[in-house]
Copies of this chain bind each other. A is one copy, B any other.
């Protein structure tokens, strides 16, 4: 592969001039034209590794997500990409799989590759350590919540309120025993959504005590198991708030397997799924602006690249409750 010296020789200029042409610095038109011709002729592609070493930075943005199979993150990824493109950054996705170890490995990559920025949905509030990356001056933006290791720009949707609204809706529909299937205890989102669920129980009139709560793993299978346990328990619920879309799919499956269907047992889910209105009855869900969250996160990265010393900012985007048939209690 040709390098800038080859190009310089072919164009009859110095390597520095080639570099200038490549980077849009001022060069006389005829020399610039010669350089461009030589580049084309030799099929020259600038070596980003060398450039990265020299400039101590790259133009790829790392997006470290918890679960590649979750539509929330894939929609978010699109938002990130669309903004990143405007700044000529490439986006690479890293799937941490909710595993702090894998996540650490990818943070290492981001660090060692000197990425232009990192957007991360932390696998753990306590374990995720972003101090190294930050120390190298790489902007980090957190999705949902900042890890404890350092306070950084954060974009979140209003998890607690969304879950609260969905639960209130189930209460108003007249369901009596509402259970919650939520995610891992280490997950900030799981905890927030559970809090909203519990607050709705406290604040309704009359207040309700001790609703059933199942901790699961945000996966389809986990949702299935949790729902199965609830349904097979001594006092099964007559409605359930599921704190993510994948677990909701599993929960529905568990119901179908027992010939139970909403809204006999009411179901509301947190998060979107393009199949939520394909199932019958259609699934009530809390809409999360995933795409916009991605956009906002990418914009925060760009902002911090230009002004690194701003105070960490938190952007909270609203959720909205989309009521469909799965939660309309037959009277």
- Chain A residues within CB distance 8 Å of chain B: 1, 43, 45-50, 52-53, 58, 60, 62, 68-69, 71, 74-75, 77-78, 81, 90-95, 97, 105-106, 108-109, 111-114, 132, 135-136, 220, 246, 249, 252-253, 256, 273-275, 277-280
Other-chain contact of A136, B1, B74, B77, B81 (Cβ < 8 Å): B1
Cα of A92 to Cα of B69 in the assembled complex, Å? 15
Q: Is B93 in contact with A1, judged by CB distance below 8 angstroms?
A: no
A49, A77, A114 interface centre (most CB from chain B within 10 Å): A49
Cα of A48 to Cα of B58 in the assembled complex, Å? 12
Q: Which residue of B lies closest to A60 (CB)?
A: B109
Q: Is B275 in contact with A45, judged by CB distance below 8 angstroms?
A: no
Q: Which residue of B lies closest to A70 (CB)?
A: B74
Other-chain contact of A274, B78, B132, B220, B278 (Cβ < 8 Å): B220
**Chain B residues within 8 Å of A278, by CB:** 249, 252-253, 256, 275, 279
Contact A68/B74 with A90-B94, A275-B279 known, Cβ cut-off 8 Å: yes
Q: Is B275 in contact with A112, judged by CB distance below 8 angstroms?
A: no
10 A-B pairs with C-beta separation under 8 A:
A48-B109, A49-B52, A49-B58, A69-B78, A91-B94, A113-B113, A249-B275, A253-B277, A275-B279, A280-B280
**Chain B residues within 8 Å of A90, by CB:** 94, 105-106, 109
Contact A108/B45 with A1-B136, A249-B275, A278-B249 known, Cβ cut-off 8 Å: yes
Cα of A274 to Cα of B220 in the assembled complex, Å? 8
What is the oligomeric copy number? 2
Q: Is A95 in contact with B81, judged by CB distance below 8 angstroms?
A: yes
What are the 4 closest A-B residue pairs judged by CB atoms, nearest first?
Answer: A48-B112, A92-B92, A93-B93, A275-B275
**Chain B residues within 8 Å of A50, by CB:** 53
Q: Is A94 in contact with B95, judged by CB distance below 8 angstroms?
A: no
Q: Which residue of B lies closest to A114 (CB)?
A: B49
Other-chain contact of A1, B95, B108, B135 (Cβ < 8 Å): B135
The smallest C-beta distance from A257 to any residue of chain B, in angstroms, reads 10
Q: Is A132 in contact with B43, judged by CB distance below 8 angstroms?
A: yes
**Chain B residues within 8 Å of A95, by CB:** 77-78, 81, 91, 93
Cα of A81 to Cα of B67 in the assembled complex, Å? 13
Q: Is A113 in contact with B49, judged by CB distance below 8 angstroms?
A: yes
Other-chain contact of A53, B1, B53, B68, B97 (Cβ < 8 Å): B53
Q: Is B45 in contact with A68, judged by CB distance below 8 angstroms?
A: no
Q: Is B274 in contact with A249, judged by CB distance below 8 angstroms?
A: yes
Cα of A111 to Cα of B2 in the assembled complex, Å? 13
**Chain B residues within 8 Å of A47, by CB:** 53, 112, 114
Cα of A23 to Cα of B47 in the assembled complex, Å? 24
